[in-house]
């Protein structure tokens, strides 16, 4: 092997190595209990920020593995962040991934994350703090359920021009943003791509490449009429277009005095030959030239920027949120340059747990529905008893019945016997799973 071949081999090896080098800048799955409190910093910018707790929520696949940061107070702002070693995504793919579960049935609130520069003072983080990227679901009101992808460019924040719908049920969902070094991007929900494109085309970072020629004018005789009235079409001579005509049988009264009464006019009657207003037929315009298109020219203000989507000293991931109804759980945070690795992590965390979580969520909702129905039934019975007391319909037999212990409804007992071997409700309303049998 000569020197040239050896050099080419070394170059190919180095290039291959650079392509497959994996970097994990942040991975947080909250597997060490209260250890998260040493890594995450609560902002003190406002004294009344909402507090987070570590929780798996009311339904889950595994009570420990599914724990994440949960919002706990309604109608609150939240500001919490974690720091990692600064990095740049210049010439590197950037993958931002996390999961969020709105088990409370969120009506208005954020479920997104922000990436901040290393200069951020975490204890002073607030909604006006400079950030690089904001990504994730944002829900408020009916129909307003979108995935925000806001990117900073030259000190200004730009929103994606595409509308990306997010998931709005109570299950955990995985959100992934991928920014490539060639200024393209992709967004995935639950490890399935929902949109992709070019940064330059889908954000208004730069002036447009083309603009309308300011000196171009539509010719005065340009004919844009697709159809016209037929100039050769003529109204028939016998066409009656008067809806009413004078009554030919009417006679002027003998005592009519024009000097006093004015000129006599006979009454009108419907014209039996009336055909409506005549209009010439419509034909294709033989002179049609099409819609005039304003010619475009290269925009002298446009300059391409190969650094779109490149950020330097990325060092903090934060939750800067407002929520009307609390209860959202954030978990499985991942920042990396490896798309395949991010997908693998998503499948091993969210992917392996989603089906069981959904089953227990459905069971929980069914148990809650039955409980509410039973409470409504008891409330209705008590209201009837009060009405009977008011109207004097309360009997001695009813008084004897009140001394007896109320027996559990048969259908409720049967439901508990059927479900008791699988799950039970804890004091906090959470569904607990007998994982020895089921998992």
Q: Which phi and psi (to 5°) does residue 431 adopt?
A: -85, 125
What are the residues facing 348 on neighbouring strands? none
Are the beta carbons of 220 and 205 closer than 8 angstroms? no
Asked if 110 and 321 count as a contact pair (C-beta separation under 8 A), the reply is: yes
Which residue is associated with the tokens 């070693």? 85
Q: Is 235 annotated as a binding residue?
A: no
Environment class of residue 414 by beta-carbon count within 10 Å: exposed (0-12), middle (13-18) or buried (19+)? exposed
Residue 138 assigned ligand-binding role: yes
**Per DSSP, which regions of 76-205 are E strands?**
76-87, 94-101, 108-110, 113-117, 133-140, 145-153, 156-159, 172-179, 184-189, 192-198
* Calpha distance 279→286 (Å, rounded): 19
* 114 annotated to bind ligand: yes
131 is in an annotated binding site: yes
The whole-angstrom separation of Cα 398 and Cα 203 is: 73
- Element (DSSP H or E) covering residue 386: helix 352-390
25 marked as part of a ligand binding site: no
Q: Please name every residue paired with 317 in a beta bridge, in sequence order, or none if there are none.
A: 82, 115
Binding residues: 112, 114, 131, 138, 320
Binding residues for an alpha-D-glucoside: 112, 114, 131, 138, 320
């Amino acid at each position: 092997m000569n020197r040239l071949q050896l050099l080419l081999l070394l170059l190919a090896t180095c290039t291959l190595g650079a392509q497959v080098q994996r970097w994990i800048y942040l991975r947080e799955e909250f597997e060490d209990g209260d250890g998260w409190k040493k890594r995450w910093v609560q902002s003190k910018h406002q004294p009344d920020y909402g507090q987070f707790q570590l929780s798996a929520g009311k339904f889950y696949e595994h009570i420990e593995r599914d724990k994440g940061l949960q919002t706990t107070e309604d109608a609150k702002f939240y500001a919490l962040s974690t720091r990692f070693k600064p990095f740049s995504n210049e010439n590197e793919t950037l993958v931002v991934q996390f999961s969020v579960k709105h088990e409370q049935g969120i009506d208005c609130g954020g479920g997104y994350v922000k990436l901040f520069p290393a200069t951020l003072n975490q204890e002073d983080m607030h909604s006006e703090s400079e950030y690089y990227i904001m990504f994730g679901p944002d829900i408020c009101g009916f129909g307003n359920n979108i995935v925000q992808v806001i990117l900073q460019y030259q000190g200004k924040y730009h929103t994606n021009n595409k509308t990306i719908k997010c998931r709005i049920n109570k299950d955990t969902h995985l959100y992934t943003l991928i920014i490539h070094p060639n200024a393209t991007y992709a967004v995935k929900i639950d490890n399935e791509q929902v949109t992709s494109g070019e940064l330059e085309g889908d954000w208004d970072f730069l002036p447009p490449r083309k603009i309308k020629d300011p000196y171009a004018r539509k010719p005065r005789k340009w004919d844009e009429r697709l159809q016209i009235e037929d100039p050769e079409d003529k109204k028939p001579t016998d066409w009656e277009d008067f809806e009413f005509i004078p009554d030919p049988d009417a006679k002027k009264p003998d005592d009519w005095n024009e000097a006093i009464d004015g000129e006599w006019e006979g009454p009108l009657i419907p014209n039996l030959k009336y055909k409506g207003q005549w209009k010439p037929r419509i034909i294709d315009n033989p002179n049609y030239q099409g819609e005039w298109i304003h010619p475009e020219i290269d925009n002298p203000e446009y300059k391409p920027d190969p650094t779109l989507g490149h950020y330097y000293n990325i060092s903090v991931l934060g939750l800067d949120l407002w929520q009307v109804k609390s209860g959202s759980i954030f978990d499985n945070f991942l920042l990396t340059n490896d798309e395949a690795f991010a997908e693998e992590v998503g499948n091993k965390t969210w992917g392996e747990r989603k089906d069981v979580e959904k089953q227990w969520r459905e069971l929980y909702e069914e148990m809650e529905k039955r409980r509410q129905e039973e409470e409504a039934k008891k409330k209705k019975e008590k209201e009837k008893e009060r009405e009977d007391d008011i109207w004097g319909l309360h009997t001695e037999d009813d008084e004897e019945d009140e001394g007896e212990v109320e027996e559990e409804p048969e259908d409720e007992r049967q439901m508990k016997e059927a479900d008791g071997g699988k799950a039970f409700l804890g004091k906090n309303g959470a569904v607990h799973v007998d994982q020895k049998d089921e998992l």
